[in-house]
Amino acid sequence: MGNEHQRILIDFERLFAMENIPVARPGQRHYHHGWVSLPCPFCKGGQDGNHLGYSPKYKVFTCWRCGRHTIGEVLAVLLRKSKRDAVQYALERYPADAFAALRGQKTYERPYELDLIGSKTPDEVHIRYLSSRHIDTDWLVDRYDARFTKEHKTHRWRVILPIWHTNKYVSYVGRDVTGKASHRYLTCFPENEVYDIKLCLFGMQRAIWDTVIVVEGSFDALRIGEGAIATLGSGWKNEQARLIGTRFRRSYILFDAEEDATIRARKLAQACMMFNNGHKSSLITLSGEQGKDPGELPEETLVKLRELIHG
């Protein structure tokens, strides 16, 4: 175990944030100061709390119910890869600076301006993919300033969606259009971001009404249209709830149909109202016939959702 810790130096907090793996926040059940806590994928503790904890100090994973697990075991389950591939992937993308804590320094400094990758000229493969998602390419470029990559060194063949925050672009998320990438969604690397993407909401530049519909994914928001925003995963942050509660008069939270997503949606609605007593927030739940996420909704349902936004 000791030799493993010497070799595997991974920034797990960054990994969880970038891979959209929800973790416990202060005040939530089973949150422990000094630990990163999340649902345990190895036992029933994952169904009713955040029993699996990672200690950045001791570099161990421990479940308060089923005991200790190796880093390789945890990464393999969370990233859905073999142990070897999962560890290699994490080491390459989320390496920890072993001496940063001792120096008291950051490992990178965020830029002031975002270098937005890609061009505004799509390839046929981009257009076909967007058409399969019922999204018009010209509309996406015009309203959301979308970009398109081809043979890019890190974000190959993706639709790039800029993230707007405080009147400028601060990050982006790229959606694979080939169906061959190991990760469908790939965000801007933290060292290239102006501001942390997980503290932002996709679609804010087009949410100009008093009412907003909040979904998990960027393409769910695009399917509904202008006035829909996305938390970029069900593991929302308090800063996102504050933005919703203070910026809009009313919000409708529409997460995916899974039970855990519904629970997080309910907590988000409560948090939005906590940050602003005048804000009203309601849940919209999906039925089995409608699909598992907002991107699968029939057009007649989408029309009704748009009416909620536009009054």
Position with higher pLDDT, 5 vs 133: 133
Position with higher pLDDT, 223 vs 33: 223
Amino acid 43: pLDDT: 84
Say how many C-beta atoms besides its own lie within 10 A of residue 167's C-beta.
Answer: 8
Domains belonging to the chain, first-starting first, are 2-98 (3.90.580.10), 124-192 (3.90.980.10), 204-310 (3.40.1360.10)
Amino acid 7: pLDDT: 54
Amino acid 6: pLDDT: 42
What band does 55 get if pLDDT is binned at 50, 70 and 90?
A: confident
Instruction: Tell me what the mean pLDDT of segment 55-84 comes to.
Output: 88
pLDDT at 10 over 60: yes
Question: For residues 219 and 204, is the Cβ–Cβ distance under 8 A?
Answer: no
Position with higher pLDDT, 32 vs 220: 220
pLDDT at 90 over 50: yes
> 223: number of CA atoms within 13 Å, CB side?
23
What band does 101 get if pLDDT is binned at 50, 70 and 90?
A: very low
Instruction: Tell me what the mean pLDDT of segment 25-30 comes to.
Output: 67
One-letter identity of residue 138: D
pLDDT at 133 over 90: yes
Query: pLDDT tens digits for 200-246?
Result: 999 999 999 999 999 999 999 999 999 999 999 778 888 999 999 99
Range ranked top by mean pLDDT from 56-70, 86-100, 207-221, 262-276 = 207-221
Amino acid 94: pLDDT: 83
Query: pLDDT tens digits for 179-191?
Result: 988 788 999 988 8
